[in-house]
Structure 1
């Protein structure tokens, strides 16, 4: 083939390629705009909602003696014990959806009966006991989920606060020494769950939350000395709920 014809063909092909690329580039903004304006396929989670939840909570309390006393003959200054109980409450929030990504905010208020009283097992001959009770807590969280039509797995996290009453008692009628911390304390929470939309308005959920409440302190005085106790309460929560989307 004539070299000049080959060069002419290549020039024509290159020109066509440039024209095609230019046309594609011109179409991209319009295509991107269409993609952004296209509503999510399947169920749409965008909107406000409110609901109720029920569940079970397990607490873990760590008591730390901060001064001159120990909880055993071996110098232990920490004692840990578990508590548990049922809980229930209300929640409300708002979701936004972009494609399959669902993000939003949620607040809840939960009444609880998470409590326990235990003897000091590290010093069996004593009458000492420890107790804790969490009767309510609340959270304010962000949620991030991935929509699979009506199924929405999500992660969540944010702030928490609640009322905890913890104590140490020597159960000695003569001395009557007890340290009580009875406070509303702040903290944080993190968790995960899944939600399923039964209808356009009603959905069911299951979720787990770990709630870490701030330490609180109680103290008593004996023979001129002050004995201070630090109480650290953490809660593991599993709950089921139903929500109505407005």
Structure 2
């Protein structure tokens, strides 16, 4: 009898702390924080058009009279193209028409470039809203030497960068170097370099 009484007392003593505190409250699992939605990458694919304005410079080397440096002038232009995107790789083509102003030989002020047409392949790397690209293509830039025309054509290479202001509007900077050659049909030929640096504003579709 003493044993049962002692056992009951021990059990009562063990249970007393739990009963004294009432029922045990289990904290609910913390609600995991919701991660912010990732920012969508800009899509560079599709057709686009735009306007350009910038600086132009040239140098002509004739087979008869040597090399002549030209005064720096300006260029304005329009362009249109189409891009495709695969991951970060962006590629496509572009056709651009530019008007050259005041790029003249100071010794012969009526000798000047009038226009330039560039057909360009573009290959670049997209970092969301920024596109870095290279250019390789063909240029046609007739030269007027005081009324005598030279049919100068050749290779165009360059580098550029575009920034997407919005899904449809872009701004960029592009440098182009053209290695041109041609003749006047009268026995005189020339090799020319025509460089432009242009600020571009485009609209994508």
- Structures share a fold, TM > 0.5? yes
Q: TM-score range by the shorter chain?
A: 0.7 to 0.9
- 1:57 paired with 2:24, answer no
Normalising by structure 2, what TM-score? 0.74
Q: How far apart are residue 114 of structure 1 and its match? A: 4.2
Q: CA deviation at 1:217?
A: 3.0
Per-residue CA deviation, residues 207-229 of structure 1 (Å, 9 max, x unaligned), is: 0000122222364xxxxxxxx43
In 1, Cα distance between the equivalents of 2:51 and 2:100? 14
Match of 1:211 in 2: 178
Structure with the larger helix share: 1
Residue 83 of structure 2 corresponds to 95
Counterpart of 2:42 in structure 1 is 43
Rg comparison, structure with higher value = 2
Residue segments in structure 1 that go unaligned for 5+ positions in a row: 1-40, 66-76, 120-128, 168-179, 220-227
* Mapped pair 1:117 → 2:116: no
- Give the total of aligned pairs: 166
Residue pair 1:58, 1:84 contacting (<8 A) in 2 also = yes
Closer/same/farther in 2, CA of residues 233 and 186 from structure 1, 3 Å limit: same
Structure 1 residue 113, shift from structure 2 partner: 1.2
TM-superposed CA distance for 1:110, in Å, is 0.5
> RMSD of the alignment, in Å?
1.9
1:84 to 58, 72, 76: 72
Structural mapping, 1:1-246, within 5 Å = 42-65=41-64, 78-119=66-107, 132-166=111-145, 181-217=148-184, 219=186, 228-246=187-205
Specify the alignment match of 1:19 in structure 2. none
Contact (CA 8 Å) 1:114, 1:135: kept in 2 or not?
Answer: no
Runs of 4+ with >6 A deviation: none
The CA distance in 1 between the partners of 2:49 and 2:126, in whole Å, is: 19
Please tell me whether the aligned partners of residues 181 and 216 of structure 1 are also in contact (alpha carbons under 8 angstroms): no
Do the aligned partners of residues 98 and 157 (structure 1) sit closer, same or farther apart at CA in structure 2, a change above 3 Å counting? same
